[in-house]
Amino acid sequence: MLAWTIYLSFAGALVEALLPKGRAGLARGVALVVAAGGLVIAALGFAADAGHGRVTIVDVPWVPSMGIHYTLAADGISLVLVLLTGLAAVAGVLFSWNIELRVNEFFAFFLALIGGVYGVFLSFDVFLLFVFYEVAIVPKYFLIAIWGSTRREYAAMKLALYSFAGSAMVLIGLLAAYATAGSHSTGLVQLGHAGLPVHFQMWAFPLVFVGFAILAGMWPFHTWAPTGHVAAPTAASMLLAGVVMKLGAYGCLRVAMSLFPHGMDPWGFSFIGIGSWRDVFALLAVIGIVYGALVALVQSDFKFVIGYSSVSHMGFVLLGLMTLNQIGMTGAVLQMFSHGVLAGLLFAIVGRMVYDRTHTRQLAELESMHLSRRMPFIAGAFVVAGMASMGLPGFSGFVAELQVLAGAWKANPWWTGAAGVGIVVGVAYTWRALQKAFFSDVRPTAEDHPKTGWHDLGAITWPEMTGFALLTLASLWIGLYPRVLLDAIEPAVKTLFAGGGQ
């Protein structure tokens, strides 16, 4: 049944492309129906399959001569991320309700992207996964280049080239693994059991891991992320930060780590405390956490603050993966979900609620607008989202980051210490943005006046309310009752350990 999330999204994209032009309402309606349908299927699938181990949905030969199968399956990790994709898709449609330019095409690209993302999360054949992974690249380019804002063509091209360079690395590694294994199956499980030589895994692992981690925003390959997020239209930023970065992290976990588990073995020597690829990537993840937070602290553009915070939060995911223990990796998957929801929420507030009304994202200009008094709903929404993002107990971020830190402590206490600094700085940049954007008392100067304008900001519309409620409730629900997801994630992570030869 879950496979219909993919087909429904692609069919929706096709329908959007063929709809008559100039019927914006119709296009929005179709997109909302398709996205909501995807969410319903994802939720039903989650309810039906969670806790049942890996459930194979489809398995038919696709390219028989090379042993490639069209294998769709779902385990606990996939289910959680499919659910996240459904949420992000519905919220994305709701927050792009006010798009007026080329509406049909916008939703066509949007749904094509969603379809590709569902496909990645459900594929259990490495090359099928790779195909869906690449399918998601092209719509991103057009979404940003056509409907974006600040330096959109530059940002879109940068994002497309970074993604494509990453996927080229992945393809090289996978081709080499296919040739080395000499097996006639490319299923994730079968290839994982092919017994690839350790020396091969030693160089294939970093290649494929970095290839995927580029999309997960790993420092120092993160630079596409802030520019891409800022330039993208709201819905695309929400998807980029919400699910596309998860594609990268998911690929690291599902492909790189489960196919080449021995790639993380110690090298046999150590250099300034780094003795394996695992240490290298954990270090990069920690640097990403702290660096992203520090850079977010000094941004003058509101959206860049959120963009860099994504880099920081995705660092927790990568750190959790590199702990290689049950609690850390469970936390990493939970953090994927949590960040997916919260980043979507933050980008929706900044991009849709604030920017589309004030037409500026400069904190210095927002300071003089007194948004907390004029738009109390937005201010309140950002308070909630900001608190959730900085890891307030009761929201999903707290549970997830706590688990990652606990896992990291087991693996290497220094990582936890450094990541803790990132959390503190996280509080600081969120507080700073909150204060400057909403609660400042600066009086507008005369020259500010005509530009920033005290024009009518427009009331909050129902799609915004609904989207906000959807994402906030999701975060609260997981924060208060994380067992729902943990019961699905934990067995899947356990199986991954058992099958991955750890």
Partner 1 sequence: MNYADLFRVTLPETMLEIAALLVLVMDLAFLRKAGLRVRAAAAALVGVAGCGAAAWALSATGGGSLRAGDELLLAGGGSAAVAQYGILALTALTLLLLIDSVFTRHVGEFVAVVLMSATGGLLIAAAQDLLVIFIGLELLSLGLYILTAFAKQSGRSAEGAMKYYLFGGMSAAFLLFGFSYLYGLTGSTNLLPVMLRIHQATGPSADPLLLVSLVMIAAGLGFKVAAAPFHFWAPDAYEGAPAPGAAFIASVSKVASFALLISIGTAGAYASGTSNAPNEGFIGPWTLVVTVLSLASMLAGNLAALAQISVRRLLAYSAIAHAGYILLGLAFFSRSNASAAAILYYILTYGLTTIGAFGAVGVVERATGSDRMDAFLGLYKRNPLLAAVLLVLFLSLAGIPPLVGFWAKFNLFAAVLSVGAGPIAFSLVALAVALSAVSLYYYLQVLKRAFVMPVADPAGRVEKISVDPVTMIVLVAIAAAVVVMGCFPALLQGWIAGFYAAM
Which amino acid is it at 340?
G
Please, which residue, 146 or 383, has the CB nearer to partner 1? 146
User: With binding defined as CB under 8 A, does residue 181 bind partner 1?
Assistant: no
User: With binding defined as CB under 8 A, does residue 176 bind partner 1?
Assistant: yes
* Near partner 1 by CB under 8 A: residue from 165, 274, 427, 484: 165
User: With binding defined as CB under 8 A, does residue 197 bind partner 1?
Assistant: no
* Near partner 1 by CB under 8 A: residue from 14, 172, 202, 442: 172
Give the interface segment with partner 1, choosing from 130-138, 271-279, 293-301, 358-366 (CB under 8 A).
130-138
Residue 296: C-alpha distances to residues 100, 223, 249, 380, 384 (Å): 31, 13, 21, 21, 19
Site for partner 1 in 200-259 (CB under 8 A): none
Cis peptide before 220 (omega within 30 of 0): yes
Closest separation in Å from C-beta 141 to partner 1: 7
The residue count for the chain:
502
Give the interface segment with partner 1, choosing from 167-175, 347-355, 399-407, 417-425 (CB under 8 A).
167-175
Q: Which residues contact 125 (CB under 8 A, 6 or more apart)?
A: 62, 68, 69, 70, 71, 186, 187, 188
Please, which residue, 20 or 25, has the CB nearer to partner 1? 20
Closest separation in Å from C-beta 226 to partner 1: 21
Please, which residue, 148 or 307, has the CB nearer to partner 1? 148
Closest separation in Å from C-beta 172 to partner 1: 5
Site for partner 1 in 97-116 (CB under 8 A): 105
Q: Please work out the total of residues on this chain that contact partner 1, with binding judged by CB under 8 A.
A: 35
* Near partner 1 by CB under 8 A: residue from 134, 265, 301, 448: 134
Closest separation in Å from C-beta 210 to partner 1: 13
Please, which residue, 194 or 460, has the CB nearer to partner 1? 194
Cα distance between residue 235 and residue 232, in whole Å: 8
> What x/- string results for residues 145 through 164 when contact with partner 1 is judged by CB under 8 A?
xx------x--xx--xx--x
Please, which residue, 223 or 461, has the CB nearer to partner 1? 223
Please, which residue, 122 or 156, has the CB nearer to partner 1? 156
Beta bridge partners of 125: 187
Site for partner 1 in 11-50 (CB under 8 A): 17
User: With binding defined as CB under 8 A, does residue 130 bind partner 1?
Assistant: yes
User: With binding defined as CB under 8 A, does residue 65 bind partner 1?
Assistant: yes
Instruction: Specify whether the CB–CB gap between 135 and 112 falls below 8 A.
Output: yes
* Near partner 1 by CB under 8 A: residue from 29, 51, 53, 61: 61
Q: Which residues contact 411 (CB under 8 A, 6 or more apart)?
A: 282, 322, 323, 324, 325, 328
Give the interface segment with partner 1, choosing from 46-54, 58-66, 74-82, 392-400 (CB under 8 A).
58-66
Instruction: Specify whether the CB–CB gap between 225 and 165 falls below 8 A.
Output: no
Please, which residue, 105 or 490, has the CB nearer to partner 1? 105
Please, which residue, 61 or 376, has the CB nearer to partner 1? 61
Retrieve residue 246's tokens: 């998860």
Q: Which residues contact 4 (CB under 8 A, 6 or more apart)?
A: 41
Q: Which residues contact 24 (CB under 8 A, 6 or more apart)?
A: 100, 103
Please, which residue, 179 or 446, has the CB nearer to partner 1? 179
Instruction: Specify whether the CB–CB gap between 386 and 439 falls below 8 A.
Output: no
Cα distance between residue 202 and residue 193, in whole Å: 16
CA neighbor of 331 nearest in space, from 246, 393, 244, 407: 407
DSSP 8-state symbol, 459: P
> What x/- string results for residues 331 through 370 when contact with partner 1 is judged by CB under 8 A?
----------------------------------------
Closest separation in Å from C-beta 164 to partner 1: 5
Distance from the Cα of residue 479 to its chain's centroid = 18
CA neighbor of 259 nearest in space, from 219, 315, 218, 202: 202
Closest separation in Å from C-beta 117 to partner 1: 15
Buried b or exposed e, range 368-392, using 16+ CB within 10 angstroms:
bbbbbeebeebbebbebbbbbbbbe
Q: Which residues contact 119 (CB under 8 A, 6 or more apart)?
A: 6, 128, 129, 131, 132, 135
Please, which residue, 17 or 383, has the CB nearer to partner 1? 17
- Kindly list the residues in this chain that would bind partner 1 in the complex (CB under 8 A): 17, 61-66, 105, 127, 130-131, 134-135, 137-138, 141-142, 145-146, 153, 156-157, 160-161, 164-165, 167-168, 171-172, 175-176, 178-180
